Amino acid sequence: MSRQFRGGSGEALVLIHGLANTWRVWEPVLLAVCERHDVLAPTLCGHYEGEQFADGVEAAMPAVVDGVERAMDAAGFETAHLCGNSLGGWVALDLARRGRARSVVCLAPAGGWEGGSRAERRLKRLFTVGRKLNDRLEPHAARLVTRPGLRKLMFAGAMAHPERLSPQQAAARMRAISGCAAYWDLMDAIVRDGPPDWLGEVEAPTLVAWPEHDRVLQVKTCSQPFRELIRDAEWRELPGVGHVPMADDPALVSRTILDWAAAHAAVTLRAG
């Protein structure tokens, strides 16, 4: 069991996964990004194989962000280039607000829906049904994931090309979902507390990259605040990929991360 990945050399880069995943969701891009960066990919608090919330600490977004900040401190990263997917995008932006980011890449960041809206209710239903279905199927994962067609059926919501997952990767993702102890509490806290209202405070250079085939966070209802409220944020569509795009197109995702960090490395060095 490993709570995080650390490897490579160069400027610090932190990769932050989404709800009910682990650091292993970044495996398809690790080789490429480690060639140019000292990479830290932690597993979020309350998630499978990750640090659990301490007694008395509520499973809510501030505590999730605190956990990544502790991991950065332990790695010796005062600041880093940050890349987050889905819930990890929300975390990356909050870390930027706290002054921990040199630059930020958000891959379909969560939190762009309007509180109490139809979009929020749809997402709650989607994640409720998805977790319950996964919990029923996960005990049979080793058999179910051996066929590409079944992998495609099971992960079509999160990926454009789920057949590109190996059976081992698919089974690991199912274990991660069922093993996410904070899943229900965290989802309830997000609905209760509402989406982030501080996006205008983010000052780090930010790229918002939205997958072309995102069936989870729909661009029409979940992207506007990131496009409009983060000062000078750049918007980009990622062609041919789904909500969790790393295995859909590792070359595209790694290039997106590396190019953005490289474009802002010289500014970071002059400022530091």
Confidence of residue 1 (pLDDT cuts 50, 70, 90): low
86 classed as catalytic = yes
231 vs 80, residue with greater confidence: 80
Confidence of residue 152 (pLDDT cuts 50, 70, 90): confident
Q: What whole-number distance in Å separates Cα of residue 4 and Cα of residue 159?
A: 23
Catalytic residue among 214, 248, 249, 254: 214
pLDDT at 269 over 70: no
pLDDT in tens, 15-64: 999 999 999 999 999 999 999 999 999 999 999 999 999 999 999 999 99
Type of residue found at 200 = G
213 classed as catalytic = no
Sign of the dihedral defined by the CA atoms of residues 165, 105, 269, 68, in that order = negative
Q: What whole-number distance in Å separates Cα of residue 25 and Cα of residue 23?
A: 5
pTM, whole model, 2 decimals? 0.95
List domains and CATH numbers for the chain. 4-271 (3.40.50.1820)
* Res 151: pLDDT: 84
Range of weakest confidence among 5-9, 91-95, 148-152, 191-195 = 148-152
Please work out, in degrees rounded to the nearest 5, the angle formed at the alpha carbon of residue 14 by the alpha carbons of 29 and 170: 40
* Res 259: pLDDT: 97
pLDDT at 266 over 70: no
Average pLDDT over residues 2-20: 96
Catalytic residue among 17, 38, 86, 249: 86
Q: Could you give phi then psi for residue 189, rounded to 5 degrees?
A: -65, -40
Catalytic residue among 37, 243, 248, 254: 243
